[in-house]
Amino acid sequence: MYEPQQRHSLSVDQVFQPNIRFFVAQVDGEPAGCGGVGFYDGYAEVKRMYARPAVRRRGIAKAVLARLEEEARQAGHTLLRLETGIHQSDAVAFYERHGFRQCLAFGPYTGMSEAQIGTSLFYEKRL
């Protein structure tokens, strides 16, 4: 769906850095969804939200996002941003339902080429 240079997820090593919080939601003791939030200068960024298809529409993603927002607030951030892809229509609809509005590229994305971010959409939300 996306070329390798268009994938902006965290590596395993990055997930374990001090500025990242990562959470896994469970249903009946099984992983059902996950999400991370990174803390940067002036904003927090949602990283890698996901809910398994079998448990979608059961509030898993909403609960994960609420936790990420709370983590950002507790870290002193009032602006939450994210990057997603143009082919992620369910994710785009979810983020827009939860108060995110499209914005310009931010942070490290501003220095990337069109080949790297041409399929990206950027969103932000005031907390």
On the question of pLDDT at 118 being above 70, the answer is yes
Backbone angles phi, psi at 115, to 5 degrees: -60, -30
Report, as an integer, the average pLDDT of 58-72.
Answer: 97
Q: How many domains does the chain have?
A: 1
On average, the pLDDT of the chain sits at: 93
Domain carrying residue 104 = 4-126
Report, as an integer, the average pLDDT of 92-97.
Answer: 98
Tens digits of per-residue pLDDT, 26-62? 999 999 999 999 999 999 999 989 999 999 999 999 9
Higher pLDDT, 5 or 100: 100
Which one, of 75, 73, 23, 78, lies nearest residue 47 by Cα? 23
Look at the alpha carbons of 82, 110, 112, 77 in this order and tell me if their dihedral is positive or negative: negative
Provide the percentage of residues in the chain whose pLDDT is more than 90. Answer: 83
CATH number at residue 113: 3.40.630.30
Which one, of 72, 78, 68, 33, lies nearest residue 54 by Cα? 33
